[in-house]
Amino acid sequence: MTEPVLRLVGVTQQYGVGETAVSALAGVDLDVVRGELVAVMGASGSGKSTLLSIAGGLQQPTTGEVIVEGTYLSTASQRELAQLRRRSLGFVFQDFNLIPTLTAMENVTLPLELDGFRARVARRAGKDALAAVGLDDKLDAYPDDLSGGQQQRVAIARAVVGGRRLILADEPTGALDSVTGEAVMKMLRTRVDAGAAGILVTHEPRHAAWADRIVFLRDGRVVDESRRASADSLLSDAR
């Protein structure tokens, strides 16, 4: 069996201490393999964003282990972690996190340039990624000149550029109209089909339907899991 791109083993996350402590994740095990897109659903506060942030090494879990492409994040050096984030991980945050002083193109190619790609090669990859989200006419626009939906698409292009192998997307379709939302899902699906692994946090059943598997979180625990075949019935139960 091939090694999962991402493994979470017994992951817990506690915020705060004592009376006010919050148990955001209460023991989560999750494997995601190449070519697999996993949707994570659950009420607000159920731990979805915490799970993504831990999976991407942006925060250390209170207990448990995170393994990305065989690298144990708990023992990786700062340098290894930084390299992993630049090279292997693509993040799409709820609030886009674009750099306001950089153009759309520069936002997308920044991780590649940091990683030592030649400017010309980075530009070509950036152009392809932006074209794939329908923004080939906005390469030189700054985030402030773009609509929320367009900014979201730049963030998606940045997450997939350069063949990232683990894509973590936190409600990437939140600010988008339904047509653009579908286009974004298609792009994510295409990237995963080409060999990446992906986790998508979403509230939208019709976007979760693009996933191979849906994981339901409640109070920091996985309470239900469904393969695509049974996902539809689970979703209609939830309605």
Residues in the site for Mg ion, rule: CB under 5 A? 48-49
Q: How far is the CB of 71 from Mg ion (least distance, A)?
A: 25
Residue 50 lies near ligand ADP (rule: CB under 6 A): yes
For the record, the structure tokens of 124 come out as 């070509």
Q: Which of 2, 17, 19, 44 binds ligand ADP (CB under 6 A)?
A: 44
Alpha carbon distances (Å) from 221 to 4, 19, 22, 148, 237: 21, 21, 13, 32, 19
Number of residues that bind ligand ADP (CB under 6 A): 12
Of the ranges 46-54, 76-84, 139-147, 159-167, which one interacts with ligand ADP (CB under 6 A)?
46-54
Residues 200-219 that bind ligand ADP (CB under 6 A): none
Residue 46 lies near ligand ADP (rule: CB under 6 A): yes
Are 21 and 14 in contact, with CB atoms under 8 Å apart?
Answer: yes
Provide the 10 A C-beta neighbour count for residue 109. Answer: 27
Strand 221-227's sheet: what is its strand order? 89-92, 166-170, 197-201, 37-41, 213-218, 221-227
Q: Which does 42 bind (CB under 5 to 8 A by kind): ligand ADP, Mg ion, none?
A: ligand ADP
Residue 47 lies near ligand ADP (rule: CB under 6 A): yes
Q: How far is the CB of 16 from ligand ADP (least distance, A)?
A: 6
> Which residue lies nearer to Mg ion by CB, 95 or 232?
95
- Tell me how far apart the terminal alpha carbons of the chain are, to the nearest angstrom: 36
Q: Which of 12, 26, 31, 45 binds ligand ADP (CB under 6 A)?
A: 45
Are 215 and 225 in contact, with CB atoms under 8 Å apart?
Answer: yes
Residue 72 lies near ligand ADP (rule: CB under 6 A): no
> Which residue lies nearer to Mg ion by CB, 44 or 78?
44
Residues 4-33 that bind ligand ADP (CB under 6 A): 15-16, 22, 24
CA–CA separation, 92 and 159 (whole Å): 6
Question: Could you tell me which of 220, 225, 223, 226 has the C-alpha nearest to residue 64?
Answer: 220
Q: Which does 63 bind (CB under 5 to 8 A by kind): ligand ADP, Mg ion, none?
A: none
- Which residue blocks in the chain are alpha helix, DSSP H? 48-55, 78-87, 104-114, 119-132, 148-160, 178-193, 205-208, 228-238
Question: Which positions lie near ligand ADP, rule CB under 6 A?
Answer: 15-16, 22, 24, 42, 44-50
